[in-house]
């Protein structure tokens, strides 16, 4: 791990230099890899975090979910019985649409640029910088700290987070507080929606387009399904929201069907995204949606597949929990809710205090140009220092 004080002109904190180094490690989620990124994968970054953590005195576990895709958990002993977990996802979204150099990590205009700069390698840089400072300054960790790097957040159904949840459940650790690293402008986020995805295939029968009555038009049946799903979306959004996170929503996101201009289509495929608000009944949600789809498609038949095989419940904690209020005070930012989803869905049933928290704005994430303000790194570093350390 780099131990320099910043850029050659000395105007950047060490966390900025660390972040620049991290951005230069390609960790594009393999499901979103392409010609510009190459095959992607989290292994190189996981190994970098593991080596840096060992160098800083951490007890490191590398946990392979599948070849080339490991979680990494680094345990640092504190001076109290309290344990804090910071979960930072290792993967980034793809770079094929980027108009900027995706992996240069340059310092420019008071920002660090490149894929993962804000989402969410910035937190790795800030926390590792703090851990390095323990050896340079008269500081000690108060709580025991687990710094976790997890795979598969950007695509793959939060696989790394659920694996970490299993690891915790095996008795390895019982964190009192969990921070899920995401760009929140250093505001503690205590709630966001969950979700589910559906892959729907409407089955018809092909025929010559001059005699459509001899076939069964899958696209026409799919259009009825889409209309029914849009009606369900309007029903959901017209209801009174149970919490400040807002209502559930439903959106048709892709449609693909047809063989040729002169063939009645025998198949039409639809993808659906259903966002789940806190308080919604997830046990009845899937069967109700399936009934709605099948009735709308009738007399045509449909195949329905649940994406990733999971329904992801919403994440929600009380806005007055000790972790929300403590981080809000340290950051001078009110607790908030978010529109996007995070690894927190995997931990919501745990008794721990949980927040989503980190430097930078979600508005910069996933874009053709990605960056984080150096001032946000500095602010996050100060907050973590006050929260996690004490003078010896």
pLDDT (mean) for 19-44:
97
Residue 319 lies in a domain: yes
Note whether 364 and 286 are same-domain residues: no
**By three-state DSSP, how is residue 65 classified?**
strand
pLDDT value at position 392?
Answer: 57
Q: What angle do CA 160, 162, 165 make, to 5 degrees?
A: 110
- Tokens of residue 302, six digits: 């449909």
Among 342, 352, 324, 340, residue whose Cα is nearest residue 190: 324
pLDDT value at position 173?
Answer: 85
Distance between CA 317 and CA 187 in Å, rounded?
14
**By three-state DSSP, how is residue 284 classified?**
helix
Q: What is the pLDDT of residues 57-74, one digit of tens each?
A: 999 999 999 999 999 999
Tokens 């340059």 -> residue = 106
pLDDT (mean) for 283-299:
97
pLDDT of 232 > 60? The answer is: yes
pLDDT of 349 > 80? The answer is: yes
Other beta carbons within 10 Å of 70: 24
Q: What is the pLDDT of residues 99-123, one digit of tens each?
A: 999 999 999 999 999 999 999 999 9
pLDDT (mean) for 76-102:
97
Q: What is the DSSP letter of 170?
A: I
- Distance of alpha carbon 362 from its chain centroid, rounded? 11
pLDDT of 7 > 50? The answer is: no
DSSP for 265-317, written as a single string: -SEEEEEEEEEE-TT--HHHHHHHHHHHHHHHHTTSEEEEEEGGG--BPPEE-
Distance between CA 195 and CA 37 in Å, rounded?
28
Note whether 19 and 38 are same-domain residues: yes
Q: What is the pLDDT of residues 241-265, one digit of tens each?
A: 999 999 999 999 999 999 999 999 9
pLDDT band at 240; cut points 50, 70, 90: very high
Which residue, of 260, 286, 309, is where some domain finishes? 309
Note whether 21 and 158 are same-domain residues: yes
Contact 6, 105 (CB under 8 A): no
Q: What is the pLDDT of residues 303-334, one digit of tens each?
A: 999 999 999 999 999 999 999 999 999 999 99
Note whether 333 and 299 are same-domain residues: no
Note whether 226 and 266 are same-domain residues: yes
Note whether 170 and 291 are same-domain residues: no
Nearest-10 Cα torsion for 87, 88, 94, 100: 160
Q: What is the pLDDT of residues 264-287, one digit of tens each?
A: 999 999 999 999 999 999 999 999
Among 113, 115, 129, 120, residue whose Cα is nearest residue 13: 129
pLDDT value at position 1?
Answer: 55
Distance between CA 273 and CA 98 in Å, rounded?
25
- Distance of alpha carbon 148 from its chain centroid, rounded? 14
pLDDT of 9 > 50? The answer is: no
pLDDT of 224 > 60? The answer is: yes
Percent of the chain with pLDDT over 70: 97
Task: Specify the CATH number for the domain of residue 205.
Answer: 3.30.70.360
pLDDT (mean) for 35-43:
96
Percent of the chain with pLDDT over 90: 92
Residue 302 lies in a domain: yes
Residue 280 lies in a domain: yes
pLDDT (mean) for 24-36:
97
Distance between CA 70 and CA 54 in Å, rounded?
16
pLDDT band at 2; cut points 50, 70, 90: very low
Which residue, of 248, 278, 309, is where some domain finishes? 309
Note whether 174 and 261 are same-domain residues: no
Structural domain containing residue 92: 14-192+314-391
Total domains, the chain: 2
pTM as predicted: 0.92
pLDDT band at 6; cut points 50, 70, 90: very low
């Amino acid at each position: 791990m780099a131990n320099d004080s910043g850029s050659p002109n000395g105007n950047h904190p060490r966390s900025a230099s660390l972040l620049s180094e991290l951005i230069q490690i390609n960790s594009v989620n393999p499901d979103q890899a392409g010609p510009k990124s190459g095959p992607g994968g989290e292994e190189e970054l996981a190994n970098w975090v593991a080596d840096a953590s060992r160098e800083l005195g951490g007890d490191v576990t590398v946990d392979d979910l599948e070849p080339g895709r490991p979680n990494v958990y680094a345990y640092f002993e504190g001076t109290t019985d309290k344990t804090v977990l910071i979960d930072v996802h290792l993967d980034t979204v793809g770079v094929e649409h980027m108009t900027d150099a995706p992996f240069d990590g340059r310092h420019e205009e008071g920002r660090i640029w490149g894929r993962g700069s804000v989402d969410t390698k910035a937190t790795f840089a800030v926390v590792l910088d703090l851990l390095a400072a323990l050896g340079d300054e008269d500081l000690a960790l108060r709580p025991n700290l687990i710094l976790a790097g997890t795979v598969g957040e950007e695509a793959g159904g939060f696989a790394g987070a659920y694996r970490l949840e299993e690891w915790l459940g095996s008795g390895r650790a019982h964190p009192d507080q969990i921070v899920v690293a995401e760009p929140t402008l250093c505001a503690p986020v205590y709630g966001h929606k969950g979700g589910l995805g559906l892959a729907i295939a409407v089955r018809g029968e092909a025929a010559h387009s001059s005699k459509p009555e001899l076939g069964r038009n899958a696209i026409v049946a799919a259009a009825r399904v889409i209309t029914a799903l849009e009606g369900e979306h309007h029903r959901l959004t017209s209801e009174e929201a149970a919490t400040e996170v807002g209502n559930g929503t439903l959106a048709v996101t892709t449609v693909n069907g047809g063989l040729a201009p002169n063939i009645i289509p025998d198949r039409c495929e639809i993808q659906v995204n259903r966002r789940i608000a806190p308080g919604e009944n997830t046990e009845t949600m899937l069967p109700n949606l399936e009934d709605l789809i099948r009735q709308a498609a009738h007399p045509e038949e449909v195949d329905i597949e649940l994406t990733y095989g999971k329904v992801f419940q919403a994440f929600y904690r009380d806005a007055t929990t000790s972790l929300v209020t403590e981080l809000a005070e340290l950051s001078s930012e009110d607790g908030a809710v978010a529109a996007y989803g995070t690894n927190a869905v995997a931990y919501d049933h745990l008794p721990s205090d949980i927040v989503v928290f980190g430097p930078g704005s979600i508005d910069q994430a996933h874009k053709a140009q990605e960056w984080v303000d150096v001032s946000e790194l500095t602010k996050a570093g100060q907050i973590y220092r006050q929260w996690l350390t004490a003078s010896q």
